[in-house]
Structure 1
Amino acid sequence: MDFAFEAGTLPLLISMPHAGTGIPADIAATMTPAALRKADTDWHLRELYGFARELGASTLAAHWSRYVIDLNRPADNANLYPGQDTTGLCPLDTFAREPLYQPGRAPDEGEVRRRLALYWQPYHDQLRAELDRLLHVHGRVVLWEAHSIASVVLRFFEGKLPDLNFGSADGASCDPALTERVTGIAQEDGHYTIAINGRFKGGHITRTYGRPDAGVHALQLEMCQSTYMNESADDPAPFGYRPDLAGQVQPLLRRMLAAAAGWAGKGGTA
């Protein structure tokens, strides 16, 4: 299975392209111990967004690790942040610059093409199909790109990230009114720091599928993992889910998602 998918009833699709931990055996045999730790996974997002079914949202979560192929990078491997360091379509190192592959065993061009067909394309086909279904039913839809990351990754940014990082491709991937509605709820909550189109403006999925003129409004949320889990390999329970922390942020997530779906259902005017 290339992904976990559940169809909902609301004009809302939650996509989790970096939640996967699967690595096929033939690829794992070429990798380093650092790769097999899968530290850069968006850990536990399916559990964190576990209320989505009750809410009525559609959900799509990757099975394969981003180390196999990154579902949130374009097929041509173009840098989404020109001039800035970033990992690619088939990354060669971890966020901490640890090599992912044993010497001489990194994927060549043919292997990248193979992974595109086998592991990248099925996720995007399902994503497109569900957006089309929801558009047919509702006339417009919100694509919520769910991500998480360690709060401190010095390779990409200085200091600690804000807790909640919203990205709309600088306003191109969704109606600004939707961003204002959702981020306003986060600001009113007051328990978490936020940024809007800061270090994270939205990746390939947000920028590609977010087409407000066609009825698809895409908004990415990159959460600090410190808001819901042990984010360090040095923690007593490395990368462990923290129900105590998650239980504090989940009500806010639910309010934001419900508002996004309500906004779409009312024609984007509320």
Structure 2
Amino acid sequence: MAQPDASPMIERAFRLVLPRKRSSCAVFSSPHSGRRYPPSFMARVVLDELRLRSSEDAYVDRLIEAAPRFGAPLLAATYSRAFVDLNRAASEMDPAVVHGAPKQPTNARICAGLGVIPRVVGEGREIMSGKITLFEAESRLARGYRPYHNCLARLLTDSRDRFGEAILFDCHSMPSEARRAAPRMAAGPPDIVLGDRYGAACAPWVFEAAHAAFVDAGFRVARNAPFAGGHITQYYGRPSQNTHALQIEIDRAIYMDEANITPNPGFDAIRDRLSGVLDALSRLRNPGQAMAAE
């Protein structure tokens, strides 16, 4: 597939690829595909490389790399999710990981070891022994978390200012085993799970159009189960303020060898099918605004 017709901009915390001409109100993000593991972090890790990488949304940034060709920016993390999790609130610090973490109400994610500074990766494997200091935790946020979110917020504001609407497509991958928790479908388990926080994060026209785009491309699609959307979807999705957010989960088994974390023989075909979906998503416009304009 041809390279995106776009101009790349490299940052330490993220990779931003801007289209040559911004023609879409959509923004595509990949917060969990980062593959950067700082040496100081690796010195304390107790897992081998494959187990450490099991929480990555590996290659999702490559699956959606065509987005700038269709007039929409693409923002992808460079730091690994095991280092700092961009899909958590900055306040979700696990006291079992961070010495001196501020006291706050706990939640299921923190209890499971999946706070903003994760304690575990896939299947509950401990990343390191002992704790890190609050200073180190804050340094990770300053290094990887805040630059990413600052950039994402600017992109969405720019979309809203230019087009009157902003649509964030937050792209992830899910382990194939997660399909067991998905609703039963006559055609088989879902390839894609769309999460809109049960209707709270985007307007119905956004969800329906996205659902149709994936179905038209031959994907089986489920809604909100087992993934309804994380912090990014919840935080940025403000339909009443013309900012919509939809989480997209892609079954890893359809594009990669999960055991070895390598693209499988079907990778290019899935990427090409997704390219058509990206095109359709980039063309979305509020039908109400279109009618008003007419």
Query: Which of the five TM-score ranges fits, normalised by the shorter chain?
Result: 0.7 to 0.9
Report the counterpart of residue 282 of structure 2 in structure 1.
261
Deviation digits for residues 70-114 of structure 1 (CA, Å, limit 9, x no counterpart):
00001111777679957221111121222100x32x323332222
Q: What is the DSSP-based 3-state SS (H/G/I as helix, E as strand, rest coil) of the residue aligned with 1:60?
A: strand
Task: Indicate whether 1:239 and 2:265 are aligned.
Answer: no
User: Does structure 2 retain, via aligned residues, the 8 Å contact 1:11–1:265?
Assistant: no
Match of 1:201 among 221, 228, 232: 228
Pick one of 204, 225, 248 that aligns with 2:269: 248
- Take 2:61 and 2:228, find their aligned partners in 1: how far apart are those partners? 22
The 5 Å alignment of 1:20-59 reads 20-34=34-48, 37-59=52-74
Q: Give the counterpart of 2:164 among 139, 146, 170.
A: 139
Match of 1:119 among 125, 132, 144: 144
**In structure 2, do the counterparts of structure 1 residues 145 and 258 end up closer, same or farther at CA, with 3 Å as the change threshold?**
same
The alpha carbon displacement at 1:222 in A equals 0.7
Residue 68 to residue 82, structure 1, CA distance change in 2 (3 Å): closer
Contact kept? 2:58, 2:261, Cα under 8 Å:
yes
Contact 1:141 1:264 in 2 (8 A): no
Structure 1: how far apart are the matches of 2:205 and 2:71? 22
Q: Residue 175 of structure 1 contacts residue 217 of structure 1 at CA under 8 Å; is this kept in 2?
A: yes
1:8-19 alignment to 2 at 5 Å?
8=19, 9=22, 10-19=24-33
For 1:193 and 1:127, locate their aligned partners in 2 and report how far apart those are by CA, in whole Å: 29
Show the 5 A alignment for 1:81-160.
85=112, 87-101=114-128, 103-104=129-130, 106-152=131-177, 157=181
The structure with the larger Rg is 2
Q: Aligned partners of 2:189, 2:91: CA distance in 1, in Å? A: 29
The match for 1:235 is none
Partner AA of 2:17 in structure 1: E
Tell me which residue corresponds to 1:76: 91
Partner secondary structure for residue 50 of structure 1: coil
After TM superposition, the runs of 4+ consecutive aligned structure 1 residues lying more than 4 A away are 78-86, 156-161, 265-270
Structure 2 residue runs without a partner (length 5+): 1-11, 93-104
TM-score w.r.t. length of structure 1: 0.86
Higher-strand-fraction structure = 2
Within 2, Cα distance between the matches of 1:176 and 1:95?
A: 33
In structure 2, relative to structure 1, the CA distance for the partners of 1:153 and 1:35 (3 Å cut) is farther
Unaligned 5+ runs, structure 1: 233-237
| Residue aligned with 1:61, SS | strand
Q: Residues 173-184 of structure 1: matches in 2 within 5 Å?
A: 173-184=201-212
1:187 corresponds to? 215
AA matched with 1:152 = E
CA contact (8 A) 2:178 2:226 kept: no
Could you list the per-position Cα deviations for residues 31-73 of structure 1 after superposition, in whole angstroms to 9, with x for gaps in the alignment? 1133674121111122211222222210000000001110000
Letter in 2 for 1:165: V
